[in-house]
């Protein structure tokens, strides 16, 4: 087999990050009777598909291919609702029936822990599916670009395209200088689509410049919309490269006239050369500069740059799993690592004696303190800590009591080995590990397992329907 070969394949499995798996017989050596299977990963396919695929990468034990033709579609397929499906790269599994999306995610988590992680003898609880599979996000971030992604229809028309130099939408996967214009995204709300389309039309008509990361010039960078699920709060955050009072004033007036339900408008001034959406400072132009949302009965203030779980309704289910795993009796000292704006500590606060949070982002610490005041919480203390280094010096400097339980919710890259060593030194009776990446979670748990911690059970929670992302909660005991 070589690059460029075309081959008919039956897809029989599903790999992490959404690639179908086909297996073909590999020729055994002449002196062997062993039959070995050669694995081919085929993008954008599902079990049950029969496809004509073209090989684009060949390795010793596997190959990768893309679909040229679907000869016979899987019974698990459905028709995607979004007009941008297959182009924007967001909802990569929207053409897969949701029940099967959840089933495949569940199987992938189990496979990662048992086969890749080498972990066994633990309870595996079935995935908690999302009640809402559309309009479930409380935040969407759009990008401006001076190169619009052209559709196949536009390219084949052979006609002059006048608006190819202005786009507001999502980056094309692997094409970071091009953005597809999004008219309607089915993941947030209809009102967010109205804000998106008004903003594009407003700035396009005024021929406002778009920031280029190549020449480091231009004004418009990002549009971020945040919306509360439990209150009527709605934030528009426009990220730009510099202050412009005339634009700020006119855009605010026109936007509010068009969409009066907006409760706050913020302009983030981002002077960085890289394509990040967090500003160096912000100007609150209308309203109070934040929204309020709830998880359970707890309220949280969400500012323009603060992190909050993107699926509010599923976040409560995720935290409830963590709470059930911990089985608090009320006298525990708890450490919460990567504590962010304090959502988990505040959610569990009435069930424990004292919580100490460790977080590396100063603005998140500020948000956590404000959220404590909002909820009248007095048993949570957040500390600024670089969790890529040892945090035990902070524990010792502040003479903090040792934890009975540690809750950890790291980024996708998982925990730093120094953080894992600190947990082992602190010797808690229980560890509740929440992760958005089961692969790095299993890697970290294997290290903890080798140091005397047993994996008791895991519970996947689907926070992001139509994507490959999956949250997973694990309980370890000494």
Strands 333-337 and 471-477: unpaired
* 8-state DSSP, 166: -
DSSP for 335-366, please give it: EEET-TTSHHHHHHGGGSSEEEEEES-HHHHH
Angle 159-164-168 from CA coordinates, rounded to 5°: 140
- Residue 478's closest CA among 457, 444, 460, 451? 451
User: What are the distances in angstroms from CA 460 to CA 20, 102, 135, 211?
Assistant: 21, 10, 21, 40
User: What are the distances in angstroms from CA 91 to CA 18, 80, 101, 303, 464?
Assistant: 11, 9, 12, 26, 9
Give the Cα separation of 323 and 382 in Å (integer).
Answer: 19
Rg (CA), the chain: 25
With H, G, I as helix, E, B as strand and everything else as coil, classify residue 251: helix
Give the Cα separation of 48 and 64 in Å (integer).
Answer: 18
| Cβ atoms of residues 133 and 98 within 8 Å | yes
Sequence-separated (6 or more) residues with CB below 8 Å from residue 276: 270
What is the per-residue burial (b if ≥16 Cβ within 10 Å, else e) of 135-158?
Answer: ebbbbbebbbbbbbbeeeeeeeee
Give the Cα separation of 426 and 169 in Å (integer).
Answer: 46
| Alpha helices (H) along 7-148 | 98-111
Give the Cα separation of 120 and 441 in Å (integer).
Answer: 15
Angle 352-356-357 from CA coordinates, rounded to 5°: 120
436 is catalytic: yes
- Residue 382's closest CA among 337, 427, 352? 337
| Cβ atoms of residues 41 and 33 within 8 Å | no
According to DSSP, the residues that pair with 359 across neighbouring strands are: 384
Spot the catalytic one: 82, 88, 372, 436.
Answer: 436
According to DSSP, the residues that pair with 70 across neighbouring strands are: 51
Map tokens 């214009």 to a residue.
181
DSSP H or E stretch at residue 37: strand 36-43
Q: Which residues are catalytic?
A: 436
């Amino acid at each position: 087999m070589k690059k460029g070969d075309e081959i008919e394949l039956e897809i029989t499995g599903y790999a992490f990050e959404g690639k179908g798996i086909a297996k073909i017989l590999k020729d055994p050596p002449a002196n062997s009777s062993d039959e070995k299977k050669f694995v081919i990963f085929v993008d954008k396919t599902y079990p049950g598909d029969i496809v004509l695929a073209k090989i684009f990468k060949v390795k010793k034990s596997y190959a990768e291919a893309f679909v040229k033709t679907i000869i016979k579609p899987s019974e698990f397929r459905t028709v995607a609702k979004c007009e941008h499906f297959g182009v924007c790269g967001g909802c990569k599994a929207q053409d897969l029936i949701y029940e099967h999306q959840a089933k495949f995610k569940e199987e992938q988590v189990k496979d990662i822990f048992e086969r890749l992680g080498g972990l066994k003898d633990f309870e595996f609880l079935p995935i908690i599916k999302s009640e809402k599979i559309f309009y479930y996000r409380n935040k969407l971030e759009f990008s401006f670009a001076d190169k619009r992604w052209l559709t196949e229809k536009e390219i084949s028309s052979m006609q002059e395209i006048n608006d190819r130099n202005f786009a507001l939408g999502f980056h094309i996967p692997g094409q970071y200088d091009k953005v597809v214009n999004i008219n309607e995204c089915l993941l947030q709300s209809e009102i967010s689509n109205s804000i998106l389309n008004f903003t594009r039309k407003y700035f396009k008509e005024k021929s406002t410049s778009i920031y280029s990361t190549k020449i480091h010039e231009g004004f418009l960078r990002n549009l971020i919309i945040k919306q509360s699920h439990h209150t009527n709060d709605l934030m528009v955050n426009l990220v730009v490269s510099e202050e412009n009072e005339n634009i700020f004033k006119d855009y605010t007036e026109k936007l509010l006239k068009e969409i009066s339900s907006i409760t706050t408008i913020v302009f983030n001034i981002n002077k960085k050369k890289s394509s990040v959406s967090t500003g160096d400072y912000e100007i609150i132009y209308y309203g109070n500069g934040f929204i309020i949302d709830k998880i359970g009965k707890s309220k949280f203030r969400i500012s323009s740059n603060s992190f909050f779980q993107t699926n509010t309704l599923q976040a409560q289910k995720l935290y409830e799993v963590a709470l059930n795993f911990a089985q608090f009796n009320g006298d525990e000292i708890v450490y919460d690592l990567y504590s962010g704006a304090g959502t988990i500590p505040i959610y569990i606060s009435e069930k424990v004696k004292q919580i100490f949070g460790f977080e590396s982002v100063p603005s998140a610490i500020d948000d956590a303190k404000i959220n404590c005041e909002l909820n009248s919480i007095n048993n949570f203390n957040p500390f600024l800590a670089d969790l890529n280094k040892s945090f035990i010096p902070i524990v010792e400097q502040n003479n903090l009591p040792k934890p009975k339980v540690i809750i950890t919710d790291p980024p996708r890259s998982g925990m730093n080995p120094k953080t894992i060593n600190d947990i082992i030194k602190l010797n808690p009776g229980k560890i509740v590990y929440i992760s958005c990446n089961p692969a790095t979670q299993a890697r970290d748990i294997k290290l903890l397992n080798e140091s005397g911690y047993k994996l008791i059970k895991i519970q996947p929670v689907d926070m992001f329907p139509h994507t490959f992302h999956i949250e997973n909660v694990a309980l370890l005991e000494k």
